[in-house]
């Protein structure tokens, strides 16, 4: 499915290496924290600072974080987890 990101709608040139802010207590925070800005969504000031930091970061750093998360998500799939789990219990 192709569509426009909010960044594209607002005229920001973020291409494919967009950045995301992640709730610091989410289960994915341990796995994806190195490639995301962790925030407490109940603290509006922290969320605003995180969004500003994401928009102001250099393209190179944004791309590095993007690829870190991309590699993790594409190699740690549900199938890999299931295979590992089955091998462990057998």
What is the pLDDT, as a whole number, of residue 16?
54
Residue 21 near residue 37, CB atoms below 8 Å: yes
How far, in Å, are 29, 32, 44 from residue 8 at the CA level?
26, 24, 23
CATH number given to 6-89 = 3.40.50.2000
Of 23-27, 39-43, 54-58, 60-64, the one with minimum mean pLDDT is: 23-27
| pLDDT higher than threshold 50 for residue 31 | yes
Mean pLDDT across 41-60: 87
The average confidence (pLDDT) of the chain is 76
**Does the global pTM surpass 0.75?**
no
| Cα separation values, 11 from 7, 14, 48, 61, 80, Å | 6, 9, 19, 20, 38
Query: Where are the strands (E) in the chain, listed by range?
Result: 21-23, 37-39
Domain-by-domain residue ranges, the chain? 6-89
Ramachandran quadrant class, 5 (left: phi over 0; alpha: psi -120 to 50; beta: rest): beta
């Amino acid at each position: 499915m192709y569509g426009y990101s909010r960044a594209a709608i607002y005229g920001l040139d973020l291409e494919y290496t967009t950045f995301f802010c992640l709730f610091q207590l989410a289960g994915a925070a341990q796995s994806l924290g190195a490639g995301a800005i962790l925030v407490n969504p109940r603290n509006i000031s922290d969320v605003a600072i995180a969004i500003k930091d994401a928009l102001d970061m250099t393209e190179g750093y944004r791309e590095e974080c993007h690829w870190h998360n991309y590699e993790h998500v594409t190699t740690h799939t549900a199938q890999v987890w299931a295979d590992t789990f089955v091998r462990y219990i057998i």
